[in-house]
Amino acid sequence: MKDLDLPAGGRMPALGLGTWKMGESAARRSTEIAAVRAAIEMGYRLIDTAEMYGEGGAEEVVGQAVADALRAGDVRREELFIVSKVYPHNASRDGTPKACARSLARLGLDHIDLYLLHWRGEHPLAETCDALQALTVDGRIRRWGVSNFDVDDMDELAALTSDCAVNQVYYSMAERGPEFSLLPWQRERGMPLMAYSPIDQGALAADAGLQEIAHWLGVSAVQVALAWVLAQPGVTAIPKAVREAHLHENLAAAELLLGPDVLAEIDRLHPPPRQKRPLAMI
C-alpha cells in the first residue's frame, strides 16, 4: 500500500475504508464490526468515519473493531490512521473539543489521527481553526483538515492558517469537477485530496464502457474505477465496503496499473472538466 506525504510531515495510506451509513442499525452492528475487523486483518490501515454517520454509531463500530484487532495483536495503534469529522453546528470554539471528546469516547481511543470539519456551517472559520489547532496542542488529535471545501473556501482558509492537512471531497471518474481548480490548488501546496464515494457508491460497476475495459484487463469495473482515482497524484480514496469480497476487490485495485491507452479511453468515456463546476456533495 503506497502512502501520501502530508504537508506538515507524516504520511497517510492512499487507500482506506469508508464507513458512511454504518452504525445506523442495531441489527447490522455485528456484521459491520466484523467487516472493519476483516479490513484491518487484510491490511487496511486508514479508516474514515464521522460523528454524523449513524449519529456516532459508525464511530462505535470502528472503535469496537479496532479494540478487537488491538487485543488480538493484529495491528498496533501506531500503524492505524483513524479519521473522524466534527459536525458544522458543533464546530465552535467550545463545541469542537466537546465533540472531539465524544468521538474519542465512542472510538475508545486517546487520539484521532486526522480530524476534519465536515463542511462549512454557522461558526466562523477562524474560530473552528483555533479550536482544531488547540486539539493538536493537547494531543487529542494529531492533525486536522476540512471536507467539502472548494477553492474559494481553501483560499479563505489559507489566509488564516497553513496547518490544514487534507481536504476530503466527492471525487470519482464520473464526478471529475475537482480536477479543474481544486485539485491543482492542493497539489501546489502538497495537500492530499481524500476522495469520498470514489466509485459512486458502486454505480460505476454498471458502466458499460468500464465493463469493457475491465474485460480487457481481467478485472472488475469497480477495480478500474478505483484504480483510476488512486492513479491521480496526491489523491487518496476511502470506498465503503462491508462484504469481504468487496474489501478484497478494493484492496487489489490499489495494485492495478492502468496504461496510457486505458487512461485515454477513460478520458473519452468520462472527460475531464473544461470549466469550473460547483463542488458536488452527497
Catalytic residues: 53
Q: CA 183 → CA 11, 170, 171, 177, 236, distances in Å?
A: 18, 12, 10, 9, 12
Q: How far apart are CA 140 and CA 112, in angstroms?
A: 6
| 96-129 burial: b if 16+ Cβ within 10 Å, else e | bbebbeebbebbebebbbbbbbbbbeebebeebb
Of residues 95, 156, 165, 105, the one with CA closest to residue 136: 165
The grid coordinates of residue 59 equal 464511530
Amino acid at 186: Q
